[in-house]
Chains A and B, each alone.
Chain A
Amino acid sequence: MATYKGAPLATQPKTLDPAEYFNLSPEYRRAEEKRAALRAQLKRQYLQQLNNPHRKELIEDPALTRWTYARTNNNYFRPTAKTSLIGGLFGVLPLFVLYVVFKTDRVS
């Protein structure tokens, strides 16, 4: 095939951009290598647990535990103007509206 050259004015995706590879500082490269090493260790740990034939229990996922606790503990609620408005609109106002609706409907 003839040598392929991409359209010179088109934008390259980040991973194919040659500027990405040759402009990296050594610190950045070292940091990326460390991160890749950590990822590989975590994946190795997971795969070891997954393929262990004597494993009887679940593999624990700390991210899931954190997420569950975040969802079930309501520490992230703060009474602000917006939340009070929503609370009043959906929690308090309908009670009065329904009272008026039922009263007028039954009395008439």
Chain B
Amino acid sequence: MLKVLIPTIMLFPTIWLTSPKWLWTTTTAHSLLIASISLMWFKWTSETGWTSSNTYLATDPLSTPLLVLTCWLLPLMILASQNHINPEPISRQRLYITLLASLQTFLIMAFGATEIIMFYIMFEATLIPTLIIITRWGNQTERLNAGTYFLFYTLAGSLPLLVALLLLQQSTGTLSMLVLQYSQPLQLNSWGHMIWWAACLIAFLVKMPLYGVHLWLPKAHVEAPVAGSMVLAAVLLKLGGYGMMRMMVMLDPLSKELAYPFIILALWGIIMTGSICLRQTDLKSLIAYSSVSHMGLVAGGILIQTPWGFSGAIILMIAHGLVSSALFCLANTAYERTHSRTMILARGLQIIFPLTAVWWFIANLANLALPPLPNLMGELMIITTLFNWSPWTILLTGLGTLITAGYSLYMFLMSQRGPTPNHITGLQPFHTREHLLMTLHLIPVILLVTKPELMWGWCY
């Protein structure tokens, strides 16, 4: 774990001491090196247990895919931001990459944490660099509103979590995940216990987000610059899912009764947010709502606490992270050229940007869960286990799949097909950097088709 954490911390001197000419090259190379070192986490020494050399930071089959995704994403974020940050003075560029690197450090410590309090502190700590990125480098005046919504929704959810964790510490004497997984199931039978149960989960449900408390997500995703959107969609939402999976261990047997409202909100949210996607005019807003829809499926899978549900949730989280980030990169390429996020403005792009049309095609096919990509595999596992939980869910999840296919195809056809308007034939051609960015997003998704064992988690 330190093999990756110390190079990530050393990224800060790299950022501040390299000469301006080499800044982006060195930071991208350094973070790519960290990403390749992080791949060694996949060598699990034990099939189900934790792999660690100390008691504070450890990896297990649940956190490893998310950790590798986090490490993989940093060079991609730096690649994506290169163009729009270029006009700014050097120290501000260094500050931007510093924020990305500090986000990376907090995320590695969050996913690798063995103490739940450390996870909580890192969970909160990731809010600060993200808030600064959204409010300082966003492009519209609405970014202030977006930052406020983002901060206060997450904080309002996580303050009860702090209280709940302290209560848990009081009653069990420890908050180490290594120990808690073997503890006796708690006696949870009063109203106070039910509130404690809800307090444990609300923070992660807001982060995921669950349908009723999802309002911060479209604002934050749309107003953030491309690196902010990428990290938000790919990793920060998964913090919520990961936290839920860790906490569910201790929350039985109340979960059988109390999870109903949240499962229902998640399932109904898939359909509602999917339908909203079909009426969006703003491209990033469409991708943001599609994120809510997919994470609703993940939330449903986690809340019913079955092995297939957990496996499907992790697979869908990883696949969705890569694909959503790819879609935001594509939306950013359109934004950098037209300076507008309106979908009908940048339409008919296939004729003028043919290779990019291929990336759009693959990313949208992945988004609508085309077999054999892992998006479908995760969705199928969650849908199957939900069907086992109650056969009526198939109506909701089936309709949700249909609507997902609908808006993904809508996004593709609107941006790529159709007559190219006259006024956009003069757009800048695509850079190699942007093509590289897209391949680095999409090739892992395709490769994961061949080895899903990396993502399954410990339930197999």
Partner-B contacts on A (CB < 8 A): 49-50, 55-59, 64, 67-68, 71-72, 90-91, 94-95, 98-99, 101-103, 105-106
Instruction: Please name all residues of chain A whose beta carbon is closer than 8 Å to the beta carbon of B393 when the two chains form the complex.
Output: 102
Known: A55-B426, A102-B390, A106-B389. A68 touches B264 (CB 8 A): no
Known: A50-B423, A105-B391, A106-B390. A99 touches B261 (CB 8 A): yes
Whether A103 contacts B392 by the Cβ 8 Å rule is no
Taken together as a complex, chains A and B put the C-alpha atoms of A36 and B415 apart, in Å, by 34
Whether A58 contacts B260 by the Cβ 8 Å rule is no
Taken together as a complex, chains A and B put the C-alpha atoms of A56 and B426 apart, in Å, by 6
B36 at the interface (CB under 8 A from A): no
Closest chain A residue, CB of each to CB of B391: A105
Instruction: Please name all residues of chain B whose beta carbon is closer than 8 Å to the beta carbon of A71 when the two chains form the complex.
Output: 281
B268 at the interface (CB under 8 A from A): yes
Of the residues A58, A94, A101, contact of B345 by C-beta under 8 Å: A58
Partner-A contacts on B (CB < 8 A): 260-261, 263-265, 267-268, 272, 281-282, 285, 338-340, 342, 344-345, 389-393, 396, 422-424, 426-428
Of the residues B268, B392, B422, contact of A95 by C-beta under 8 Å: B268
Known: A58-B424, A72-B282. A99 touches B392 (CB 8 A): no
Taken together as a complex, chains A and B put the C-alpha atoms of A103 and B422 apart, in Å, by 57
Taken together as a complex, chains A and B put the C-alpha atoms of A105 and B260 apart, in Å, by 13
List 28 contacting pairs A-B, 8 Å CB cutoff, sorted by A: A49-B423, A50-B422, A55-B426, A57-B339, A58-B338, A58-B339, A58-B340, A58-B424, A58-B427, A64-B345, A67-B281, A68-B281, A68-B282, A68-B342, A71-B281, A72-B282, A94-B268, A95-B261, A95-B264, A95-B268, A98-B392, A98-B396, A99-B261, A101-B392, A102-B264, A102-B390, A102-B392, A105-B392
Of the residues A49, A57, A64, A98, contact of B342 by C-beta under 8 Å: A64
Main secondary structure of the interface of B (DSSP, over half): helix
- 10 shortest interchain CB distances as A-B pairs: A59-B423, A98-B264, A71-B281, A102-B390, A105-B390, A68-B342, A58-B338, A101-B392, A95-B264, A94-B268
Taken together as a complex, chains A and B put the C-alpha atoms of A55 and B265 apart, in Å, by 50
Taken together as a complex, chains A and B put the C-alpha atoms of A50 and B426 apart, in Å, by 10
Whether B267 contacts A98 by the Cβ 8 Å rule is yes
Whether A58 contacts B342 by the Cβ 8 Å rule is no
Instruction: Please name all residues of chain B whose beta carbon is closer than 8 Å to the beta carbon of A56 when the two chains form the complex.
Output: 426, 428
Closest chain A residue, CB of each to CB of B423: A59
Instruction: Please name all residues of chain A whose beta carbon is closer than 8 Å to the beta carbon of B396 when the two chains form the complex.
Output: 98
Instruction: Please name all residues of chain B whose beta carbon is closer than 8 Å to the beta carbon of A58 when the two chains form the complex.
Output: 338-340, 345, 423-424, 427
Closest chain A residue, CB of each to CB of B425: A50
Instruction: Please name all residues of chain B whose beta carbon is closer than 8 Å to the beta carbon of A57 when the two chains form the complex.
Output: 339, 426
Instruction: Please name all residues of chain B whose beta carbon is closer than 8 Å to the beta carbon of A90 when the two chains form the complex.
Output: 272
Chain B nearest CB from A43 CB (Å) reads: 13
Closest chain A residue, CB of each to CB of B256: A106
Taken together as a complex, chains A and B put the C-alpha atoms of A7 and B424 apart, in Å, by 49
Chain A nearest CB from B314 CB (Å) reads: 24
Instruction: Please name all residues of chain B whose beta carbon is closer than 8 Å to the beta carbon of A50 when the two chains form the complex.
Output: 422-423
Taken together as a complex, chains A and B put the C-alpha atoms of A55 and B389 apart, in Å, by 60
Instruction: Please name all residues of chain A whose beta carbon is closer than 8 Å to the beta carbon of B282 when the two chains form the complex.
Output: 68, 72
Of the residues B268, B281, B344, B427, contact of A98 by C-beta under 8 Å: B268
Whether A72 contacts B285 by the Cβ 8 Å rule is yes
Taken together as a complex, chains A and B put the C-alpha atoms of A37 and B428 apart, in Å, by 35
Taken together as a complex, chains A and B put the C-alpha atoms of A51 and B113 apart, in Å, by 60
Chain A nearest CB from B54 CB (Å) reads: 43
Instruction: Please name all residues of chain B whose beta carbon is closer than 8 Å to the beta carbon of A91 when the two chains form the complex.
Output: 272
Contacts A50-B422, A68-B281, A99-B260 supplied; 11 other A-B pairs, CB < 8 Å = A49-B423, A56-B428, A58-B339, A58-B424, A98-B392, A101-B392, A102-B263, A102-B264, A102-B392, A105-B390, A105-B392
